[in-house]
Amino acid sequence: IPTLITFLGGASGYVVKLYDQTGNGHDAVQTTAANQPLISLVEPNGLPATVFTKTSAMTLQVTLTGTKPSAFSVLCSYLTTNVNLNSQAACGSAISSSNTTMWGLLLQTYFGGNVQNGIIQTIIGDSILSTYCNATTIANATANNIYKPVSIRFQSGVVPPSIRIGGAAQTLSVQGTGTTSGGATGNFYIGKGYPGTELDGKILETMVYSSYVSDENMSKLETNTKSYYGI
Protein backbone atom coordinates (compact mmCIF):
# COMPACT_ATOMS: atom_id res chain seq x y z
CA ILE A 1 0.00 0.00 0.00
CA PRO A 2 2.74 2.58 0.78
CA THR A 3 4.24 1.89 -2.65
CA LEU A 4 0.86 2.44 -4.30
CA ILE A 5 0.30 5.66 -2.36
CA THR A 6 3.71 6.92 -3.42
CA PHE A 7 3.07 5.93 -7.04
CA LEU A 8 -0.24 7.82 -7.14
CA GLY A 9 1.23 10.88 -5.44
CA GLY A 10 -2.20 12.13 -4.44
CA ALA A 11 -3.75 11.53 -7.86
CA SER A 12 -6.68 9.22 -8.56
CA GLY A 13 -5.79 5.69 -9.65
CA TYR A 14 -7.82 3.47 -11.97
CA VAL A 15 -7.69 -0.27 -12.60
CA VAL A 16 -6.58 -1.27 -16.10
CA LYS A 17 -5.77 -4.88 -15.25
CA LEU A 18 -6.49 -6.92 -12.14
CA TYR A 19 -4.06 -9.82 -12.17
CA ASP A 20 -5.22 -13.38 -11.55
CA GLN A 21 -3.45 -14.41 -8.36
CA THR A 22 -3.57 -18.14 -9.23
CA GLY A 23 -1.11 -17.74 -12.11
CA ASN A 24 -3.62 -19.14 -14.63
CA GLY A 25 -3.65 -15.91 -16.60
CA HIS A 26 -7.35 -15.12 -16.12
CA ASP A 27 -6.66 -11.43 -15.62
CA ALA A 28 -9.58 -9.00 -15.40
CA VAL A 29 -9.06 -6.15 -17.86
CA GLN A 30 -10.67 -2.84 -18.84
CA THR A 31 -9.03 -0.98 -21.74
CA THR A 32 -11.65 1.79 -22.02
CA ALA A 33 -10.60 4.59 -19.69
CA ALA A 34 -14.14 5.81 -18.97
CA ASN A 35 -15.14 2.33 -17.73
CA GLN A 36 -12.12 1.68 -15.51
CA PRO A 37 -12.99 1.34 -11.80
CA LEU A 38 -11.33 3.61 -9.28
CA ILE A 39 -8.86 2.48 -6.61
CA SER A 40 -9.85 3.36 -3.05
CA LEU A 41 -7.13 3.34 -0.35
CA VAL A 42 -9.41 4.32 2.56
CA GLU A 43 -10.82 0.88 3.38
CA PRO A 44 -10.90 -1.60 6.30
CA ASN A 45 -7.49 -2.64 7.62
CA GLY A 46 -5.88 -0.07 5.33
CA LEU A 47 -6.31 -2.37 2.31
CA PRO A 48 -7.45 -1.20 -1.14
CA ALA A 49 -10.83 -1.72 -2.77
CA THR A 50 -12.02 -1.32 -6.34
CA VAL A 51 -14.81 1.26 -6.73
CA PHE A 52 -17.51 0.72 -9.36
CA THR A 53 -20.04 3.34 -10.49
CA LYS A 54 -23.19 2.03 -12.18
CA THR A 55 -23.85 5.14 -14.26
CA SER A 56 -20.34 4.92 -15.72
CA ALA A 57 -20.65 1.17 -16.44
CA MET A 58 -17.36 0.47 -14.70
CA THR A 59 -16.43 -3.21 -15.14
CA LEU A 60 -13.51 -5.60 -15.53
CA GLN A 61 -13.62 -8.48 -18.02
CA VAL A 62 -12.02 -11.91 -17.82
CA THR A 63 -11.89 -13.41 -21.33
CA LEU A 64 -12.70 -17.12 -21.19
CA THR A 65 -12.77 -19.89 -23.79
CA GLY A 66 -14.08 -23.44 -23.86
CA THR A 67 -17.20 -24.72 -22.13
CA LYS A 68 -18.89 -23.29 -19.08
CA PRO A 69 -18.28 -25.21 -15.85
CA SER A 70 -20.69 -27.88 -14.62
CA ALA A 71 -19.87 -26.72 -11.09
CA PHE A 72 -18.62 -23.43 -9.71
CA SER A 73 -18.11 -21.46 -6.51
CA VAL A 74 -17.81 -17.69 -6.26
CA LEU A 75 -16.88 -15.70 -3.17
CA CYS A 76 -17.04 -11.93 -3.55
CA SER A 77 -16.52 -9.48 -0.69
CA TYR A 78 -18.25 -6.23 -1.57
CA LEU A 79 -20.62 -3.47 -0.52
CA THR A 80 -23.40 -1.63 -2.31
CA THR A 81 -23.48 2.15 -2.14
CA ASN A 82 -27.20 2.27 -2.98
CA VAL A 83 -29.28 -0.91 -2.66
CA ASN A 84 -32.23 0.95 -4.20
CA LEU A 85 -30.67 0.95 -7.65
CA ASN A 86 -32.27 -1.83 -9.66
CA SER A 87 -30.34 -4.94 -10.74
CA GLN A 88 -26.74 -4.74 -9.58
CA ALA A 89 -24.32 -7.63 -9.97
CA ALA A 90 -20.99 -7.87 -8.20
CA CYS A 91 -19.85 -10.42 -10.79
CA GLY A 92 -21.12 -12.99 -13.27
CA SER A 93 -20.96 -14.42 -16.76
CA ALA A 94 -23.71 -13.74 -19.28
CA ILE A 95 -24.38 -11.75 -22.44
CA SER A 96 -27.99 -11.00 -21.46
CA SER A 97 -30.56 -11.89 -18.81
CA SER A 98 -31.71 -14.91 -20.84
CA ASN A 99 -28.36 -15.96 -22.23
CA THR A 100 -27.52 -19.67 -22.39
CA THR A 101 -24.02 -19.11 -21.04
CA MET A 102 -25.22 -17.61 -17.75
CA TRP A 103 -23.32 -18.85 -14.71
CA GLY A 104 -21.63 -17.49 -11.60
CA LEU A 105 -24.11 -14.62 -11.38
CA LEU A 106 -24.26 -12.81 -8.04
CA LEU A 107 -27.13 -10.39 -8.60
CA GLN A 108 -28.72 -7.93 -6.18
CA THR A 109 -32.29 -7.08 -7.15
CA TYR A 110 -34.61 -4.21 -6.39
CA PHE A 111 -37.82 -3.72 -8.32
CA GLY A 112 -39.67 -0.46 -7.74
CA GLY A 113 -39.42 -0.54 -3.96
CA ASN A 114 -41.01 -3.95 -3.42
CA VAL A 115 -39.85 -6.68 -1.04
CA GLN A 116 -36.91 -7.65 -3.23
CA ASN A 117 -34.90 -4.70 -1.91
CA GLY A 118 -31.41 -6.04 -1.27
CA ILE A 119 -32.16 -9.67 -2.06
CA ILE A 120 -29.33 -11.74 -3.57
CA GLN A 121 -30.08 -13.93 -6.58
CA THR A 122 -28.20 -16.33 -8.78
CA ILE A 123 -29.38 -17.70 -12.11
CA ILE A 124 -27.82 -20.64 -13.94
CA GLY A 125 -28.62 -21.73 -17.49
CA ASP A 126 -31.13 -20.55 -20.07
CA SER A 127 -34.48 -19.22 -18.83
CA ILE A 128 -35.86 -19.05 -22.39
CA LEU A 129 -35.55 -22.83 -22.81
CA SER A 130 -36.50 -23.48 -19.16
CA THR A 131 -33.16 -25.21 -18.57
CA TYR A 132 -32.30 -22.94 -15.69
CA CYS A 133 -32.11 -22.72 -11.94
CA ASN A 134 -33.02 -19.46 -10.21
CA ALA A 135 -32.21 -19.19 -6.49
CA THR A 136 -33.16 -16.09 -4.50
CA THR A 137 -32.61 -15.27 -0.84
CA ILE A 138 -35.91 -14.93 1.01
CA ALA A 139 -34.73 -12.40 3.61
CA ASN A 140 -33.38 -8.97 2.76
CA ALA A 141 -29.71 -9.60 3.29
CA THR A 142 -27.83 -6.46 2.32
CA ALA A 143 -27.56 -2.85 3.47
CA ASN A 144 -25.84 0.25 2.18
CA ASN A 145 -22.09 0.64 2.74
CA ILE A 146 -21.54 -2.56 4.72
CA TYR A 147 -18.93 -5.00 3.42
CA LYS A 148 -19.95 -8.66 3.45
CA PRO A 149 -18.45 -11.79 1.89
CA VAL A 150 -21.16 -13.28 -0.37
CA SER A 151 -20.81 -16.73 -1.89
CA ILE A 152 -22.78 -18.73 -4.43
CA ARG A 153 -22.16 -22.37 -5.30
CA PHE A 154 -23.75 -24.71 -7.81
CA GLN A 155 -23.15 -28.25 -9.01
CA SER A 156 -25.14 -29.50 -11.97
CA GLY A 157 -27.49 -32.37 -11.20
CA VAL A 158 -26.20 -32.91 -7.67
CA VAL A 159 -27.20 -30.11 -5.34
CA PRO A 160 -29.35 -26.93 -5.51
CA PRO A 161 -27.53 -23.61 -5.46
CA SER A 162 -26.11 -22.40 -2.18
CA ILE A 163 -25.95 -18.74 -1.16
CA ARG A 164 -24.09 -17.58 1.96
CA ILE A 165 -23.93 -13.97 3.14
CA GLY A 166 -21.51 -12.87 5.82
CA GLY A 167 -20.79 -16.53 6.55
CA ALA A 168 -24.46 -17.45 7.12
CA ALA A 169 -26.34 -19.87 4.86
CA GLN A 170 -29.46 -18.32 3.34
CA THR A 171 -32.97 -19.72 3.04
CA LEU A 172 -33.67 -19.79 -0.69
CA SER A 173 -36.57 -19.77 -3.07
CA VAL A 174 -35.46 -22.12 -5.86
CA GLN A 175 -37.07 -22.40 -9.30
CA GLY A 176 -36.05 -24.62 -12.20
CA THR A 177 -33.57 -27.48 -12.43
CA GLY A 178 -31.01 -26.03 -14.79
CA THR A 179 -27.53 -27.15 -15.67
CA THR A 180 -24.28 -25.36 -16.35
CA SER A 181 -22.81 -28.20 -18.38
CA GLY A 182 -22.34 -27.95 -22.14
CA GLY A 183 -22.18 -24.95 -24.41
CA ALA A 184 -19.58 -22.25 -24.79
CA THR A 185 -18.85 -20.06 -21.79
CA GLY A 186 -19.31 -16.32 -21.79
CA ASN A 187 -16.74 -13.88 -20.48
CA PHE A 188 -16.68 -13.42 -16.71
CA TYR A 189 -17.17 -9.90 -15.41
CA ILE A 190 -16.32 -8.16 -12.16
CA GLY A 191 -18.60 -5.22 -11.50
CA LYS A 192 -21.53 -6.61 -13.50
CA GLY A 193 -23.13 -9.89 -14.58
CA TYR A 194 -24.59 -8.79 -17.91
CA PRO A 195 -25.41 -5.41 -19.53
CA GLY A 196 -27.62 -3.28 -17.29
CA THR A 197 -26.54 -4.93 -14.03
CA GLU A 198 -23.48 -2.80 -13.30
CA LEU A 199 -22.60 -2.43 -9.61
CA ASP A 200 -22.70 0.80 -7.66
CA GLY A 201 -20.32 -0.06 -4.85
CA LYS A 202 -16.91 -1.40 -3.88
CA ILE A 203 -15.26 -4.82 -4.18
CA LEU A 204 -12.43 -5.99 -1.96
CA GLU A 205 -11.83 -9.40 -3.54
CA THR A 206 -13.40 -11.92 -5.91
CA MET A 207 -12.59 -15.65 -5.87
CA VAL A 208 -13.88 -18.03 -8.56
CA TYR A 209 -13.54 -21.83 -8.55
CA SER A 210 -14.57 -24.30 -11.25
CA SER A 211 -15.73 -26.72 -8.54
CA TYR A 212 -18.23 -26.91 -5.70
CA VAL A 213 -16.30 -25.81 -2.61
CA SER A 214 -17.40 -27.74 0.48
CA ASP A 215 -19.22 -26.07 3.37
CA GLU A 216 -16.16 -26.55 5.56
CA ASN A 217 -13.75 -24.98 3.09
CA MET A 218 -16.12 -22.13 2.21
CA SER A 219 -16.46 -21.35 5.90
CA LYS A 220 -12.66 -21.20 6.18
CA LEU A 221 -12.44 -18.89 3.17
CA GLU A 222 -15.10 -16.60 4.63
CA THR A 223 -13.44 -16.52 8.05
CA ASN A 224 -10.03 -15.73 6.58
CA THR A 225 -11.51 -13.06 4.31
CA LYS A 226 -13.35 -11.34 7.16
CA SER A 227 -10.23 -11.41 9.33
CA TYR A 228 -7.86 -10.19 6.61
CA TYR A 229 -10.08 -7.29 5.54
CA GLY A 230 -11.49 -6.51 8.98
CA ILE A 231 -15.12 -6.80 7.87
pLDDT (average), residues 8-28: 88
SS3 4: helix
Residue 219: predicted pLDDT: 97
Tell me phi and psi for residue 2, to 5 degrees: -55, -40
Each residue of 3-34: b (16+ CB within 10 Å) or e?
eeeeeeeeeebbbeebeeeeeeeeebebeeee
Distance CA 181, CA 68 (A): 6
207: phi then psi, degrees, rounded to nearest 5: -115, 135
Among the residue ranges 9-13, 99-103, 126-130, 187-191, the one predicted with the least confidence is 126-130
pLDDT at residue 115 is higher than 60: no
Model pLDDT, residue 87: 87
Q: What is the pLDDT of residue 111?
A: 57
Vertex 204, ends 117 and 201: CA angle to 5°?
35
Q: Give the pLDDT mean for 183-195.
A: 86
